[in-house]
Amino acid sequence: MRVLLLFCLSVLGLSLHAQSVQGTIVDESGDPIIGATILVVGTANGTVTDLDGNFDLSNVASGETLQFSYTGMQEQRVEVGDERTFSIILKSTLFLDEVVVTALGIKRDERSLGYSVGRVGGDNLNRVAQENVLNGIAGKVSGVQINSTGGAGSSVSMVIRGANSLNGDNQPLFVVDGVPIANTLNNVGQVGRDNRVDFGNAVADLNPDDIESVSILKGPSAAALYGSRAGNGVVLITTKSGQKADGLTVSINSNTVLDNPIRFLDFHTSYATGVRPYTPDNNPYPGGVLLIEEGSAAGIGPKLDQGYSAIQWNSPIGADGHPQLLPLESHPNNIRDFVQTGINSTNNISIANSNDLISYRASYTNLASRGLIPNSDFHKNYLSLSSAVNVNKNFVVSTNVNVGRSHSNNRPAGNRGSNPLEWAYKVSPHIDINDLKDYWVPGQEGIQQRSQAPGDYNNPWFLANEAINSFERDRLYGNVMGEWQITPKLRLMGRYSLDQFSEERETRIAPSYTREANGAYGLINLGRTESNADFLLTYTTDVNDFSVSASAGGNVLNQNGSSVRTATKERGSGLVIPGLFTLANIEPNNLDFSSTEFRKSIYSVYGLVNLAYKDIVYLDLTGRNDWSSTLPAENRSYFYPSASLSLLVNNMMELPSFDTWKIRAGWAQVGNDTDPYSLYPVLGNAGAWDGVTRLTQSGSLLTADLKPEISTSFEVGTDLAMFDDQFRLSATIYSVSNENQILGLALPQSSGFSSKVINAGKVSSRGWEASVGFTPIRRGALEWNLDFNLYRNRTRIDELTEGIDRFQLWRDAKGGAWTYVGEDIGDIYDAELITVTDPSSPYFGYPILDDEGSWQDIDDQDTRNKIGNFNPDFILGGQSSLTYKNITLSFTIDWRKGGQFVSQTYRYSESDLKTQRWLDKLIVYDGAREDLPQWLKDNEDEYITDGINIVGGPGDEFGGQPFDFGVVVNDGVFNPGVIAEYDDQGNITGYIENLGGPETKYIPYAANYPWSFTSASTFDADFLKLRDVSIGYRLPSQVTDRVGISRADISIYSRNVILWTKAGVGIDPENAFQPEGGTQGNGITFKQGIERYNVNPFVLPIGIRLNATF
Amino acid sequence: MKLVHKLFGLLLLSSVLFSGCDDLSEINENPNGVEPLNAHPNLLMATVISESAKQVVSLGFGNVAGVMQHTQKDAWFSSHNDYDWGDQSWGGQYSILRNADLMQERAIDLELDFHEGVSMAMKAYMFALITDLWGPAPYLDAVAADEGALDQLLPAFDEQSVIYNGVLNDLEQASALFSAPQQSYDAIVGDADLFYGGDVASWQKFTNSLRLRYLMRISDKDPSKAKAGFESVAALPLILDPADDATMPYVGTTSDDSWPSNVLTDASGSSYRRIKMCATLVDKLQTLNDPRLAVWAQPIDVPLVVDPNAAPGTDEVVDGQRRLAPDVVEGQLVDTDPVYVGIPPSVSAIPSGYNLNPTPGQTSFNPHVSYLNELYTKAADPLLVARVASAAEVRFLLAEAAAKGWSVPGSAEEHYQEGIRASFTSWGLEESVEDYLSQPGVAFDGTVRQIIEQKWIASWTAAAEAWFDYRRTGFPQLEAGPIAKRDVLPVRFYYMQSELNINTSNAQAALDLLEETNFSQADGTNSAWSKPWLLQGTGKPW
């Protein structure tokens, strides 16, 4: 190991008589290390540091070597010269030899583990501010994929090693200091039609500043002891405690980041709303006056900036009593003017202290966030207290309590409907969005919004300010734990932990929202409690070179939850008196109310044995048996074992240059139960009909004799470090096979049911993860570390059940994502364009159009027209950290290669002809008209046979042809291809060219969008993202000491900067993630690989972080 | 001593741990709903009736009204006007059957004849509708996935003849269940019966009337059975008075229980605004001077006037009229009717621009085309009902039978006139009916064509029956518009794709029962222009 910070005077004539040495050992943050070992190499002479990190060791001769070590720190060796005072900084282990927290909170040396554990230290997590802990993990751990719906307070999805279960959200289990934390993705609520609001997932309640470290147990091998819920991996979060504090320590963190919007969707600003690009000289309005059809959804009306004037929505009434003409001009900055700079500010103060008897840490965090959309916010206030009391020498009681509130005064809706951003993009470019800021019709304040076409168009400012979705979530989580060292070899731990929250959501929508004329109001109350009581008895002993640790434990889990909803009915008659938001103001027939509750319990016993031979071989064996309330009595009990092995090759033989080299293998099974009440159906409420109760039988058939799902995994891997830890490598390959999946299979509707829950099928995933680290420079105070991680996962459906050949994840936009048995999950399918399939035909590959010249398709379900896959080929993460003295420059970068996503935003917007991209795709021909068919045929690969093509466009500059409907406008386009002729049997007898010749069928540009084809709005998902970049400076101690600060840091950073997307349409591919139920049957999951108005602008954040410890 | 302490500690701990342990089976008892096996049929009756009745309007005021040229849409129009269909789900119909099936099961368990009869009648009606729309369909093995065998999960499709036979048998049995005196039935809750308030005799009339409908339906394919059956049922109690119509009024509180084009729950009014009258119906009603037009349609806002004396290029709005010079309208489709203008069927790719609308587009207001009457902006109204079976229909059926020479009570003319009278009564126009009946073109000429044309008019907002009559008789003689998907009207719905994919081999066998025509074209066999058994060999409607 390497000496980093030392100054040895080399003196030739060494003094041989023994003297004492003194000094201090601190960690990288300058905090003293208590109990670090100092040993004279080759002797038994040694000591440990005291509470202040000081040591004093006598009988050390010059020329002897001192070894400084501490668990989890890199060992250092220094030869003793004349200098007798040492100031040692021990660095935390960059790679191996690290203590990690494993299942049940057991701390282990990483080298003894037979499976891969991902780790992120608190410093690494908090280098830049993150409102959600999960975002801090993105790009830092291989095998972990993070997606989100937007900014602060949004739901964030974390999937480890790919989705293994077809019928769930695949979210890992979160355990904070031993407390399992409820977290789901299903947080979209709705009161009022199409007012879908993502209230954020509960893991967002965790405060990153309180986190000491995060361990990610990726596979079942690591997680087997957590049982049922660990099938998707476990994220173990350890929070800071007071045990390290040396005297009263006060620490303050302040973090502020400004999100500046810089990039928007690729929309045109060239045409007003309307379906045809009329001109003042050529329009159907009586008297030859140009009138803008502002209620039209289409965006291809009169051209802007041509010096035209027209009657518009805000035309003043002139002296003649008629609306006056206003100039038609474009407003290219409408979205930029609508959104605001997002501000996120987190402030945290903590106090910690410890002595022989007690240690404690108390912390308060306030987060305040202002969103990009006006009038949106998110707030969090949390208090946490952790404390440990040494009751006596052998008994420690500790507790950890977190209490706080997350709330928002308004979370804007997503998706289509009341989403302000959607309507901001819909504002016609001939309108200055700032003119809409006064969003009430004068004299009708509180009753009627003002927009370009009331009833058809919402005003985005109105939605932002008058469609309000607020929530408050109060949460309490924590534990009480006792640890009793019964004998030196026998230890007992008992613990009770609780996670409880109650959430109230309130929606207030003012009258005149286009989908709720009289407004909407509703209250939703959610409550959830989970308690766990567990114990673990551990016996540890050493026999010769063997050491053995055996434990046995048990756990009782109880969950319950409830939800109560009282609201106006969706698409109902709204509120009686406008603007009075009370339940009493809802007409009784229009009242929608419901309540549900659930309970679930799992009882478990488990045991584990760790065997070690010297420091060479480690073997872990575990077994667990669960009894779940959700399964039928005969299948309720299920047992599952695991085994893992770690070999330290560097300790078996002499390996020059190798610091460590470990080979590991793990095998494990995990059983999984299901949701409560999955065995027998109950009748649902179809809504009363004029006061008469209507019940309905569910279309989903349940199965009364469900068995637990069993997932079996195997992984092998290696970890090595070479050249004084300047080269580091870790690699794992794994496979997981998930059997007896509890999943909903689609049935034909004629069976009377739409799906049936079955207990069959087999889904397997396989993949690899690798991380490589280098230290290209390590010279004195200068050090540069580079780390890369890379992974790939594929999940395959091996079996379903008899007669069923596919599993559908979602179907939307005339296509969808489903998987055939034997194939990999993630494939996206589309309708197929009907083309000439006879290779001998001169028109081979040409689209066969219908009699009107429109494309024809074979339905997506009738063909296997695969157009992509929503999974990446791989994701490469890179981290760089450059330290020189007090300055650290670091960044994290993510590169996603491969995969596709479907954009519903573009599908809707392009069918409304609002995007520049769609105009850019038009084939514009400017040669002689009679040569056009030949020109197209000469370039058929580019213009005819490669799918959807359109020749011409809205007006002469696109080569639009005269189209006569009321008025002749040159907006006629055609689709290159052929039109078939049929005989009496429906057989094709010949083709007529539709290539611009005399028989060509022209269609007005506005009526020619390929709505039946998903491929028209499918994009590549490749991107390059700067997750974070920061430059930090630690104030020199000479400065800080003078003002009584023990440590102070300042850093400036940015985060989540999208550097490049292959699609280039202004959509973050990581947001291609639709918050709606997805899978067939009754599964709840977000739809992967598809988005619908989840299109926040790209931002360039600038953040500053201050930290001071007293 | 110390050991005792320790043991005591362990005991205490384990008792704390497991004191929270309840019986796991009890925990998993769902507190949120009624188990199906305990459900009373009354809890399902309103569900089955309301959802079935809504089908009449969603078809007959929806795409089928477009096919039968009652209406045209001028935005999101291609499936309504141009038959651009493709994938048509029968999930709604089979969901109704799922509840009707459970209702029947529970009625039999509880020995409730009335409830059993209602469930059988509604099941028969729904299965008949399915085969009317799609052709061969799962019937014998259908709606039984809960019994779990593979052939119940993936039910076989039955030929239409099997389904119509089964439907007729079930209706006969249901009719028998309704034959006892009212007071002999148990557990009738009037409010749950949205048609008849629990009146058993009315249900018998409804059931017999449906039998007439389906016997006439198969009259070309199985003439002897149809005739004999029809003649015997015609003597039984039937819906002959509009007061006995099987109708369901809407409630009008939410979109689910309101008339579909209402503006209460659709604030933008776009679902009202984009349905316009179709020129075919408007012209017919105007020819016959039919007062029902004024109940259904609104006069246009601004009539067009082509003034031969106007200066070239004249296009101006004067005194509520748009005055145009002949050169302005040259080559244009222009309807200068001063009061009512319908959109011709499948007229264009921009139907909203019809009749020189100055503001064509998806949300257009068209001052030169007739909107539906403002009645249709309401969420509920006594005139806004789902008409499942009516006296008008039964009268026209009897008229047609008499005209065919079948032996039924009364003459063809009498039933024809009573049919029109019943329709007028339903629309509040009973006082105008005598004048109407005596008009040329209305006065009975003894043809089936005239009967079916009047039946087509009377089927306003319930156009599915008119479509089925059109297929059977070719009347009224309708033509597809210029941009319709094919040159003739479609004759069936497409099978839904998921059925073809999940229930593949059975669906394939059903396709083999369909007859491709030269209009099937790129669709292949699963085409709206392929003929099911009912039309094969009839040469109709084309």
Mutate which: B253, B483, B516, B529, vs A, most A CBs within 10 A: B253
Q: How far apart are CA B128 and CA B137, in angstroms?
A: 10
Does B500 contact A749 at a Cβ distance shorter than 8 Å? no
What is the model's pLDDT at position A29?
67
Does B153 contact A690 at a Cβ distance shorter than 8 Å? no
How big is the A-B interface in CB pairs under 8 Å?
Answer: 326
Task: Nearest chain B residue to A989 by CA: give it.
Answer: B521
Q: How confident is the model at residue A9 (pLDDT cuts 50, 70, 90)?
A: very low
Q: Chain A, 506-565: which have a CB under 8 Å from a chain B CB? A: 512-518, 531, 533-535, 554, 556, 558
| Helix, coil or strand: residue A587 | coil
What number of other Cβ atoms are within 10 A of residue A889's Cβ?
16
What is the model's pLDDT at position A260?
94
What is the model's pLDDT at position B35?
87
Q: What is the mean pLDDT of residues A977-991?
A: 87
The nearest CA of chain B is from the CA of A484 a distance in Å of 10
Does B90 contact A533 at a Cβ distance shorter than 8 Å? no
Interacting residues of A920 by C-beta distance below 8 A, sequence separation 6+: none
Nearest by CB: B363 against A296, A695, A806: A296
Task: Return the higher-pLDDT residue of B153 and B425.
Answer: B425
CA A724 to each of CA A79, A94, A661, A700, A728: distance values in angstroms, whole numbers, following the listed order: 17, 11, 13, 60, 10
Does A803 contact B255 at a Cβ distance shorter than 8 Å? no
Task: Nearest chain B residue to A679 by CA: give it.
Answer: B28
What is the model's pLDDT at position A238?
85
What residues in B contact A512, CB-CB < 8 Å?
267
Task: Nearest chain A residue to B354 by CA: give it.
Answer: A966
Is residue A8 over pLDDT 50?
no
Is residue B349 over pLDDT 90?
no
Does A682 contact B98 at a Cβ distance shorter than 8 Å? no
Does B503 contact A748 at a Cβ distance shorter than 8 Å? yes
Q: Which of A361-365, A743-747, B215-219 has the highest mean pLDDT?
A: B215-219
Q: How far apart are CA A217 and CA B185, in angstroms?
A: 66
The nearest CA of chain A is from the CA of B37 a distance in Å of 9
Is residue B181 over pLDDT 80?
yes
Does A291 contact B522 at a Cβ distance shorter than 8 Å? no
A876-919 per-position pLDDT tens digit: 989 898 988 889 899 989 899 999 999 999 999 999 999 999 99
B467-525 per-position pLDDT tens digit: 999 999 999 999 999 989 999 999 999 999 889 888 989 999 999 999 999 898 888 89
Whether this prediction's pTM lies above 0.90 is answered by: no
The nearest CA of chain B is from the CA of A636 a distance in Å of 9
Q: How confident is the model at residue B8 (pLDDT cuts 50, 70, 90)?
A: low
Interface predicted TM-score (ipTM) of this complex, two decimals: 0.90
Task: Nearest chain B residue to A555 by CA: give it.
Answer: B17
Does B363 contact A456 at a Cβ distance shorter than 8 Å? yes
Does A749 contact B497 at a Cβ distance shorter than 8 Å? no
CA neighbor of A466 nearest in space, from A426, A516, A525, A416? A516
- CA dihedral (B183, B185, B190, B195) in degrees, to 10, reads -110
Does B145 contact A753 at a Cβ distance shorter than 8 Å? yes
Any B CB within 8 A of A962 CB: no
What is the model's pLDDT at position A93?
53
Does B138 contact A751 at a Cβ distance shorter than 8 Å? yes
Nearest by CB: A284 against B13, B155, B356: B356
What is the model's pLDDT at position B417?
97
Q: What is the mean pLDDT of residues A287-305?
A: 89
Does B87 contact A515 at a Cβ distance shorter than 8 Å? no
Phi, psi angles (nearest 5°) of residue A852: -95, 0
Is residue A14 over pLDDT 50?
no
What residues in A contact B352, CB-CB < 8 Å?
275
What residues in B contact A684, CB-CB < 8 Å?
33
Task: Return the higher-pLDDT residue of A185 and A503.
Answer: A503
B12-26 per-position pLDDT tens digit: 555 555 555 678 888
Nearest by CB: A284 against B21, B255, B358: B358
Q: How confident is the model at residue A67 (pLDDT cuts 50, 70, 90)?
A: confident
Angle at A1023 between CA A1017 and CA A1026, to 5 degrees: 140
Q: Is the peptide bond before B541 cis (omega within 30 degrees of 0)?
A: yes
Phi, psi angles (nearest 5°) of residue B437: -65, -25
What residues in A contact B22, CB-CB < 8 Å?
601
CA A350 to each of CA A490, A1109, A1110, B402: distance values in angstroms, whole numbers, following the listed order: 35, 9, 10, 95
Any B CB within 8 A of A276 CB: yes
What residues in A contact B362, CB-CB < 8 Å?
275, 296-298
Q: What mean pLDDT value characterizes chain A?
A: 87
Is residue A515 over pLDDT 70?
yes
Does A701 contact B145 at a Cβ distance shorter than 8 Å? yes
Q: How far apart are CA A535 and CA A481, in angstroms?
A: 9
Q: How far apart are CA A183 and CA B459, in angstroms?
A: 55
Does A276 contact B86 at a Cβ distance shorter than 8 Å? no
Task: Nearest chain B residue to A836 by CA: give it.
Answer: B522
B366-387 per-position pLDDT tens digit: 999 999 999 999 999 999 999 9
What residues in A contact B518, CB-CB < 8 Å?
982-986
Does B16 contact A533 at a Cβ distance shorter than 8 Å? yes
What is the model's pLDDT at position A335?
96
Nearest by CB: A753 against B6, B146, B349: B146
Nearest by CB: A985 against B138, B364, B518: B518
Does A288 contact B356 at a Cβ distance shorter than 8 Å? no
What residues in A contact B304, CB-CB < 8 Å?
none
Interacting residues of B431 by C-beta distance below 8 A, sequence separation 6+: none
What residues in A contact B44, CB-CB < 8 Å?
694-697
Amino acid letter for position A574: G
Q: How far apart are CA B523 and CA B490, in angstroms?
A: 12
Nearest by CB: A752 against B36, B97, B265: B97
What is the model's pLDDT at position B10?
57
Task: Nearest chain B residue to A560 by CA: give it.
Answer: B27
Any B CB within 8 A of A806 CB: yes
Task: Nearest chain A residue to B32 by CA: give it.
Answer: A596
What number of other Cβ atoms are within 10 A of residue B9's Cβ?
15
A563-579 per-position pLDDT tens digit: 999 999 888 889 999 98
Query: Residue B496 gets which letter from DSSP?
Result: P
SS3 content of chain A, % helix, strand, coil (to 5): 10, 50, 40
The nearest CA of chain B is from the CA of A360 a distance in Å of 25
Q: How confident is the model at residue B7 (pLDDT cuts 50, 70, 90)?
A: low
Q: How far apart are CA A541 and CA A559, in angstroms?
A: 37
What is the model's pLDDT at position A95?
39
The nearest CA of chain B is from the CA of A122 a distance in Å of 33
Q: How far apart are CA A1108 and CA B9, in angstroms?
A: 45
Task: Nearest chain A residue to B50 by CA: give it.
Answer: A689
Any B CB within 8 A of A861 CB: yes
Mutate which: B89, B314, B359, B516, vs A, most A CBs within 10 A: B359
Is residue A666 over pLDDT 60?
yes
Amino acid letter for position A967: V
What is the model's pLDDT at position A1084?
47
Tokens 């052709």, located at residue? B135
Does A861 contact B498 at a Cβ distance shorter than 8 Å? yes
Q: How confident is the model at residue A312 (pLDDT cuts 50, 70, 90)?
A: very high
The nearest CA of chain B is from the CA of A136 a distance in Å of 36
